[in-house]
């Protein structure tokens, strides 16, 4: 794991965008994995700005999203289809036939999930998967106790996760109980995992994921086993890391060829 602590979420988001843009420039047909929620919004804003001002080209990029709510129309304002269109896809030149988001209205969820895995495989695998982390350490919608080898499937949300997402629905009673999500095994297949975490609410989850034991009770801790997992943190989310000084020293003393 590479732990990068930035002064604030703005600097961390800017660096995340630089990493993603660097891959797209180097590999125009890159396969990118996207996440939703509040955390990656500024990252997406930077990518849109790079597209507009620097002509960052997404025309050959293929996109896969982590998850979607079961039972929501793609056009529902709280759906992740709507979120991605609002914050990224409608603002860049990505081709719609290269965008993949789980379909929450499917009549056959198991077949839909297998098809999603097949599409990822057919695309050559995901080059960079953008991730957030839940306050309880969940990754995607892989709640605590999820199998560390799981694949794309239906999951039942915990009360805490539904509470955390209630604002988008106008109340917890309106939040769906089920989602389709990439599994932890699917995420671990990605060549690079880029996890962003900001603010004091994420402090404990970050410390457990980075320095705690590898356990299904903190699903994000599986990234300790990933060959290239990058945690981009602000000072608040990194506040409980026991080796924060070392992580800063490592980042500041990278050889030139390793710098972003």
213 C-beta neighbours (distance < 10 Å), count: 9
Whether residue 174 is contained in a domain is answered as: yes
Whether residue 177 is contained in a domain is answered as: yes
Amino acid 74: pLDDT: 92
Whether residue 34 is contained in a domain is answered as: yes
**Annotated catalytic residue, options 42, 67, 127, 164:** 67
Amino acid 160: pLDDT: 87
- More confident: 194 or 260: 194
Structure token pair of residue 234 = 């602000």
**Annotated catalytic residue, options 136, 164, 226, 234:** 136
The verdict on whether 60 is a catalytic residue reads no
pLDDT band of 161, cuts 50, 70, 90: confident
The verdict on whether 8 is a catalytic residue reads no
Whether residue 257 is contained in a domain is answered as: no
Whether residue 210 is contained in a domain is answered as: yes
Q: What is the pTM assigned to this prediction? A: 0.95
Amino acid 25: pLDDT: 97
Length of the chain: 260
The verdict on whether 136 is a catalytic residue reads yes
Mean pLDDT of 187-211: 98
Whether residue 258 is contained in a domain is answered as: no
**Annotated catalytic residue, options 68, 127, 143, 234:** 143
On average, the pLDDT of the chain sits at 96
pLDDT digits (tens, 9 = 90+) for 44-64: 999 999 999 999 999 999 999
Mean pLDDT of 169-189: 95
Amino acid 259: pLDDT: 86
The verdict on whether 108 is a catalytic residue reads no
Residue with tokens 């990234």: 223
Buried (b) or exposed (e) across 78-108, using 16+ Cβ within 10 A? Answer: bbbbbbbbebbbebbebeeebbbbbbbebee
Whether residue 109 is contained in a domain is answered as: yes
Whether residue 259 is contained in a domain is answered as: no
Mean pLDDT of 27-38: 97
**Annotated catalytic residue, options 46, 51, 87, 138:** 138
**Could you tell me the residue range of the domain that residue 178 belongs to?**
2-252
For position 112, which CATH number holds? 3.40.50.1360
Amino acid 85: pLDDT: 97
Amino acid 155: pLDDT: 94
Number of domains making up the chain = 1
């Amino acid at each position: 794991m590479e732990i990068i602590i930035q002064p604030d979420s703005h600097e961390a988001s800017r660096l995340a965008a630089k990493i993603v843009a660097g891959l797209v420039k180097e590999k125009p047909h890159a396969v990118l994995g996207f996440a939703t929620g509040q955390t990656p919004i500024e990252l997406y804003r930077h990518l849109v700005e790079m597209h507009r001002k620097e002509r960052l080209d997404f025309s050959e990029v293929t996109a896969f999203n982590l998850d979607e709510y079961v039972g929501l129309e793609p056009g529902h304002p709280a759906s992740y289809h709507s979120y991605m269109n609002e914050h990224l896809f409608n603002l860049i030149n990505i081709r719609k036939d290269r965008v993949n988001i789980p379909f929450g209205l499917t009549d056959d969820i198991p077949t839909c999930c297998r098809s999603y895995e097949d599409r990822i495989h057919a695309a050559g695998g995901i080059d960079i998967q953008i991730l957030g982390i839940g306050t309880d350490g969940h990754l995607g919608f892989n709640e605590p106790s999820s199998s560390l080898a799981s694949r794309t499937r239906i999951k039942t949300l915990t009360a805490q996760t539904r509470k955390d997402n209630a604002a988008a629905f106008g109340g917890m009673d309106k939040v769906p109980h089920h989602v389709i999500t990439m599994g932890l095994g699917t995420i671990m297949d990605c060549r690079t995992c880029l996890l962003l975490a900001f603010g004091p609410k994420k402090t404990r989850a970050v410390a457990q994921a980075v320095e705690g034991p590898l356990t299904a009770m903190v699903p994000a801790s599986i990234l300790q086993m990933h060959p290239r997992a990058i945690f981009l943190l602000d000072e608040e989310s990194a506040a409980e890391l026991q080796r924060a000084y070392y992580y800063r020293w490592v980042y500041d003393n990278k050889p030139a060829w390793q710098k972003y």
